[in-house]
Amino acid sequence: MSWRTVVVTKPSKLDYSMGYMTVRDVENTVKIHLSEVSILIIENTACSITCALLSELSAKKIKVIFCDSKRNPQSELISYYGSHDCSQKLKNQIAWQDYSKQQVWTVIVAQKIKNQSSLLEFYGLKEAQMLDGYIEELEFNDITNREGHAAKVYFNALFGKGFTRSDDTPLNAMLNYGYSIILSCINREVVSSGYSTQLGL
């Protein structure tokens, strides 16, 4: 089972041979068996990577994330075919009824607020109880925007009343980086199951 997240931070050359990914920079050469790799993050724009390695990474459904010059995740490598029956699954996905999509969205929002509440509770913050209340108030398809209210309480509890998610700050940059990695992992699971990430809820 793959478990490594490999982050390439220096100008390097990446290639493939005999089941191994080789990463060479001016100081070191490192070989890693692809069976160990779950995610490859290319943080440095001065890296080169061979087509042979890209092909193997794609075949093994290893998530590859490319960053921009500021080291922010910018794009990713996704296989065309995630499973043997992806055509049928894509047809089913396109045919999803609005009611089903709204059901899924309601579950996602509830779990998101629950996770936020759990973190606040972990840090001993009283606002966790307020988020628990939002979960109880959650209506179908979140028509009252409990998600938005919960997010404001959550971030203010963690980072202070003056925190704004849209500000251009190092803290927001770190949050965006983390979100991009998580989103990329979710994308990998969606595609590997035969569905399309272009069709949202």
Same domain, 71 and 113: no
Residues 127, 32: Cα–Cα separation, whole Å: 44
Q: Which two tokens stand for residue 76?
A: 């990713």
Residue found under tokens 């990914």:
21
Local confidence band at 85 (pLDDT 50, 70, 90 cut-offs): confident
Same domain, 67 and 129: no
Domain encompassing residue 142: 86-192
- Give the pLDDT confidence score for residue 127 in this predicted structure: 98
Res 1 pLDDT > 80 = no
Q: Which two tokens stand for residue 187?
A: 């994308």
Local confidence band at 20 (pLDDT 50, 70, 90 cut-offs): very high
Same domain, 148 and 57: no
Same domain, 105 and 65: no
pLDDT, mean of residues 26-52: 96
Name the residue with higher pLDDT: 196 or 48. 48
Q: Which of 50, 77, 104 is the last residue of a domain?
A: 77
Same domain, 102 and 164: yes
pTM: 0.76
Residue 112: helix, strand or coil by DSSP?
Answer: helix
Q: Which two tokens stand for residue 82?
A: 């995630």
Same domain, 105 and 181: yes
Residues 169, 155: Cα–Cα separation, whole Å: 14
Mean pLDDT of the chain: 93
Res 82 pLDDT > 80 = no
Q: What is the pLDDT of residues 126-140, one digit of tens each?
A: 999 999 999 999 999
Local confidence band at 79 (pLDDT 50, 70, 90 cut-offs): confident
Q: Which two tokens stand for residue 55?
A: 């092909």
Same domain, 107 and 168: yes
Same domain, 109 and 166: yes
Name the residue with higher pLDDT: 80 or 56. 56
Reported as half-sphere exposure (CB side, CA atoms, 13 A), residue 11 has a value of 2
DSSP type of residue 34: G
- Give the pLDDT confidence score for residue 46 in this predicted structure: 97
**Share of residues in the chain with pLDDT > 90 (%):** 77
Q: What is the pLDDT of residues 169-183, one digit of tens each?
A: 999 999 999 999 898
DSSP type of residue 41: E
56, 16 Cβ separation under 8 angstroms: yes
Local confidence band at 168 (pLDDT 50, 70, 90 cut-offs): very high
- Give the pLDDT confidence score for residue 200 in this predicted structure: 84
Name the residue with higher pLDDT: 34 or 73. 34
Check which CATH number belongs to the domain holding 45 and give it. Answer: 3.100.10.20
Local confidence band at 155 (pLDDT 50, 70, 90 cut-offs): very high
Q: Which of 46, 77, 108 is the last residue of a domain?
A: 77
Instruction: Find how far residue 57's CA is from the centre of its chain.
Output: 18
